[in-house]
Amino acid sequence: MNGNATILVTGGAGYIGSHACVALLEAGYKIVVIDNLVNSSPLSMARVKAITRQDFAFIEGDICEARTLDALFKQYSIDAVMHFAGLKAVGESCSNPLLYYQNNVAGTLTLCKAMKAHGVGRIIFSSSATVYGEPHTVPIDESFPLQTTNPYGGSKKMVEDVFRDLAEADRLGDAEFWRVGLLRYFNPVGAHPSGMIGEAPNGVPNNLLPYMLQVALGKQPELTVYGDDYPTPDGTGVRDYIHVVDLVAGHVKALHFLLDENNASGCHTWNLGTGQGYSVLEMITAFEAATNVKVPYKIAPRRPGDIPACWAEPSKAQREINWQAEQNLAQMMKDSWHWQCQNPEGYDA
């Protein structure tokens, strides 16, 4: 099967999903998007159409609604699913775990049942490096033990378990229905080089780069650096930041793998990271160098739940799906800033 395949993109109006829509359309795929817009704007879809000069169907709907999915699979001939739809705020998941298990886990089960009923077995799932919890060492490869520390992470691991069990049931029954790619993202940042789509967090951001962008814009007075006493070279937390355009290129490569009948069916897991860690202080320096904008900051105690260091061993994806990240930190900073300057209020302006 080639690029003429039709891909259902759940959560396609969101940050990563909208970039995936661009990558899929540019690779020659047709797409159908479903999103309930709980954390996104329909404007992102208009921008994807403007960037690619291509049209596609958008369904404002919820993956938790079986009837909506049934109608969608009846109306469109879907070859594979890219499943981004989910809630992702760690703090909110701790205060409202039911919401996270319902939306992220039960929603995925509803999606899987609809896929099974309509004979669609190929799916790429947005997992996260959060499933590794606090790793015993870095870099982290796909064989590391899984342990989660909050309901958001728990929901990702549960969905992974579901897909591993579906693949195992196929194996035991000598069937080859499910072809699954579990993609474990490290820390996605950056934006499309056009500056037309990017991350638009609601309210005050929790993540480092979105917060830094608000400080640079003057919307927040200073960045709080959470902890300078970690066992890392400069004492601040180290993460593997990956450009969102590289990340979605990994999805297209994973899709090629799943669509190729010569490749093994079942459940495949790939880390999507650069393999390089940067500290919070290095991130500030890199942002200032790439943009010429100062980021005032203060040091504060560690943020509860944070781990010292986390970066990927990404060679499995390179070996098996021929993917590796290409963009450096300076490009991530430039593209994030370009998006933020063009859209200081996100999509709301």
Catalytic positions, please?
A: 152
Q: Which residues pair with 187 in a beta bridge?
A: 241
Give the pair of three-digit tokens for residue 7.
């891909």
Q: Does 208 bind ligand UD1 (CB under 6 A)?
A: yes
At 126, which amino acid appears?
S
Which of 51, 73, 77, 50 is CA-nearest to residue 61?
73
> Which listed range, 131-139, 204-212, 250-258, 340-348, lies at the site for ligand UD1 (CB under 6 A)?
204-212
How many chain residues interact with ligand UD1 (CB under 6 A)? 21
Cβ–Cβ under 8 Å, residues 86 and 155 = yes
Give the pair of three-digit tokens for residue 272.
């999507």
Q: Does 276 bind ligand UD1 (CB under 6 A)?
A: no
Which of ligand NAD, ligand UD1, none does residue 38 bind (CB under 5 to 8 Å by kind)? ligand NAD
Cβ–Cβ under 8 Å, residues 302 and 178 = no
Q: Does 127 bind ligand UD1 (CB under 6 A)?
A: no
Measured CA to CA, the distance from residue 17 to residue 183 in angstroms comes to: 13
Binding ligand UD1 (rule: CB under 6 A), the pick from 56, 211, 257, 287 is: 211
Which of ligand UD1, ligand NAD, none does residue 303 bind (CB under 5 to 8 Å by kind)? ligand UD1
* CB 82, min distance to ligand UD1, A: 18
* CB 128, min distance to ligand UD1, A: 4
Measured CA to CA, the distance from residue 126 to residue 30 in angstroms comes to: 20
Measured CA to CA, the distance from residue 119 to residue 178 in angstroms comes to: 10
Residues 309-328 that bind ligand UD1 (CB under 6 A): none
At 60, which amino acid appears?
E
Angle at the Cα of 322 from the Cα atoms of 54 and 250, rounded to 5 degrees:
45
Measured CA to CA, the distance from residue 108 to residue 102 in angstroms comes to: 9
> Which listed range, 60-68, 263-271, 302-310, 337-345, lies at the site for ligand UD1 (CB under 6 A)?
302-310
Which of ligand NAD, ligand UD1, none does residue 336 bind (CB under 5 to 8 Å by kind)? none
Binding residues for ligand NAD (CB under 6 A)? 10-11, 13-17, 34-40, 62-64, 84-88, 103, 107, 126, 128, 185, 188
Core vs surface per residue 12-33: b (16+ CB within 10 A) or e: bbbbbbbbbbbbbbebebbbbb
Binding ligand UD1 (rule: CB under 6 A), the pick from 113, 116, 303, 319 is: 303
Interface residues toward ligand UD1, by CB under 6 A: 88, 90, 128, 130, 152-153, 187, 206-208, 211, 223-226, 237, 239, 280, 303, 305-306
